[in-house]
Amino acid sequence: MTADPQDEGSPAPRKRVTSADVARVSGVSRATVSYVLNNAPGRVISESTRELVLSTAQRLGHVPYAPARTLRLGKSNIVLALVRDFAFGFVSHRVLRELDTALAARGFVVLAHRFDESLRPLSDLWGLISPNVVVAMGGLTVPEQAIIEDSHAKFVRSHGIVPQDRAGEMQVEYLYSRGHRVLGYAMADSPAVQLVAEERLAGARRACARLGIPDPIVETVSVDNPVTVFPALDRWAAAEPKVTAVCAHNDEVAIMVCTGLASRGLVPGKDLAVIGIDNIPMARIALTTIEMDVEAYSKAVIAAVLAAIDDKPQPDPAGDYLHLIVRDSA
């Protein structure tokens, strides 16, 4: 918030300093300025001219104007990351940070956009911003994918790199190996993670079927409203036979379950086994979890985006992204 009284109503929107201004003042042509400013490959510019142009550009305070450049070139240096919510979880945040760092080195900028079809159709976005690459963090519906593919931007899906269903399977497999036969499943309710949540649950169900134990008893827990864990705990305890272990959608939900247990004087891993997914920092005290290898995941996303930028075929995302980490809670 601008508290300075003098810049209120700012009446003087400084005229833009164009490369033509720089050319005029330097006494050279616009083309020459462009060559210098872009280190035009295959062009030889005399050192004196180069320095002259650079110094006047500096002196006049010239900043290249992105829209003009993009219009001329037909493509921008923008990577648009589509997110369902700005607060979208430890792993995705980390991936985005790594992506941002890697792309800054290539002269690209990563911008995050929270998309919400009910707010504005995705297709209207292209009239507002013209990204070179669109990278979807998290799952996308089929129509959403179609709209992005219809745009002129290249399209990278981060979803699909890590087999989410496999994470659910691994949770069940571990709990089974520890003797648990009646499982609960703590779903997250946030629409932002719905697609991922469904895949994880599907994986868990598949593992149960394969191992010959009943489907997990699914309860929904709201990350925005932690007290919702209590009714879930009640129902798992009331089940017949009683639930002895719970797969949580992720570590956050798992920690909520553990906290709920603790506040009732129960001990996670003893009175009820709890296993998460992600291995977020807060989990590292006591939570058994399926670690998401953030570094490997980030590398895969970066490779995919760089390939898209360079118009190269998408790399094979196969890799080992999931690892069991056993701690106290299960």
Partner DNA sequence: TTGTAGGCGTTATCAA
Partner DNA sequence: TTGATAACGCCTACAA
Closer of 3 and 44 to DNA (Cβ): 44
Of residues 123, 173, 195, 327, which one binds a copy of itself by CB under 8 A?
123
- Identify what 104 binds: DNA, a copy of itself, none; CB under 5 to 8 Å per kind: a copy of itself
Closer of 131 and 184 to DNA (Cβ): 131
Of residues 130, 244, 250, 288, which one binds a copy of itself by CB under 8 A?
130
- Identify what 234 binds: DNA, a copy of itself, none; CB under 5 to 8 Å per kind: none
Please say whether the beta carbons of 42 and 82 come within 8 A: no
- Identify what 297 binds: a copy of itself, DNA, none; CB under 5 to 8 Å per kind: none
- Identify what 18 binds: DNA, a copy of itself, none; CB under 5 to 8 Å per kind: DNA
Q: In a 3-state reduction of DSSP, which class is residue 23?
A: helix
Dihedral sign from CA coordinates of 54, 60, 66, 72: negative
306 touching a copy of itself, by CB under 8 A? no
Q: If you ran DSSP here, which 8-state letter would residue 9 be given? A: T
* Cα diameter, the chain: 88
Closer of 14 and 44 to a copy of itself (Cβ): 14
Interacting residue ranges for DNA, rule: CB under 7 A: 16, 18-20, 27-35, 37-38, 40, 43-46, 48-49, 62, 64-65, 68-69, 71-74
Helix axes 30-37, 19-26, angle to 10 degrees: 110
224 touching a copy of itself, by CB under 8 A? yes
The first and second tokens of residue 167, run together, are 């994470």
Residue 310 CA: distances (Å) to CA of 77, 133, 305: 12, 10, 9
Of all helices (H) and strands (E), which one includes residue 174? helix 164-177
Of residues 114, 181, 235, 327, which one binds a copy of itself by CB under 8 A?
114
Closer of 207 and 280 to a copy of itself (Cβ): 280
Nearest Cα residue to 306 out of 105, 125, 137: 105
The first and second tokens of residue 250, run together, are 């992720």
The first and second tokens of residue 137, run together, are 């963090």
Query: How many chain residues touch a copy of itself (CB under 8 A)?
Result: 88
Please say whether the beta carbons of 134 and 156 come within 8 A: yes
Could you tell me the smallest distance in angstroms from the CB atom of residue 41 to DNA?
A: 9
Which parts of 51-90 interact with a copy of itself (CB under 8 A)? 61, 63-71, 74, 76-78, 80, 85-87, 90
1 touching a copy of itself, by CB under 8 A? yes
Alpha carbons within 13 angstroms on the beta-carbon side of residue 115 total 25
Closer of 150 and 215 to a copy of itself (Cβ): 150
Closer of 161 and 208 to a copy of itself (Cβ): 161
Residue 109 CA: distances (Å) to CA of 122, 127, 261, 283, 315: 20, 19, 44, 32, 22
